[in-house]
Amino acid sequence: MILFLDYDGVLHPDAAFLEKGRPVLRGEGALFMWSRYLQDVLVSHPQVEIVISSSWCRVFGFSRAKWFLPPSLQPRVIGGTWHSSMARSEFGGFKMPHTWWDSATRYEQIIRYVRRARLEHWLAVDDNNEGWAEVDADRLILTDPNKGVSDPHVLSALHEKLAAW
């Protein structure tokens, strides 16, 4: 089972910004302040692996984006919807300032990964449902960007969907 995981609006409020190259949360709380809720859910589901579906991979690179997660979640991370090779042109291998990924919806980024990896069992936790296909609507656990996974309804849905697999 793969869990596509966004950061902003899921593991902390959607108020994270870059200041001098570092992420900061503008407002109350702390970055990744709701991670423990996800950790608690995943304890009962050791088969779940995480693919980071956050712009943090694009901004910081996969390894650093993974490093921001709590140590208990890091071993579950097997990839990201963004990879640095996506910034290289197919014609000549030079670095591109903007790529397809930058203008794709979160759903498009995820479904590209799903198709390439031929995944059958997957879910996404995100605060953005823009462009989400009806056929995969049951695979999205939509969060309130101000509550993320701390919302009891989200936790219940996550437990329920993981148990069903």
Question: Rounded mean pLDDT of 62-76?
Answer: 96
Q: What is the pLDDT of residues 106-143, one digit of tens each?
A: 999 999 999 999 999 999 999 999 999 999 999 999 99
What local confidence, expressed as pLDDT, does residue 84 receive?
Answer: 53
Question: Would you give the end-to-end CA distance of the chain in angstroms?
Answer: 8
Tally of domains in the chain: 1
Query: Is pLDDT at 36 greater than 60 in this prediction?
Result: yes
- The burial class, CB within 10 Å (0-12 / 13-18 / 19+), for 45 is middle
Across the strands, what pairs with 77? 50
Q: Which of 81, 83, 66 is nearest to 2 (CA)?
A: 81
What local confidence, expressed as pLDDT, does residue 89 receive?
Answer: 46
Range of the domain at 120: 2-164
The pTM score is 0.89
- What CATH code is carried by the domain that includes residue 12? 3.40.50
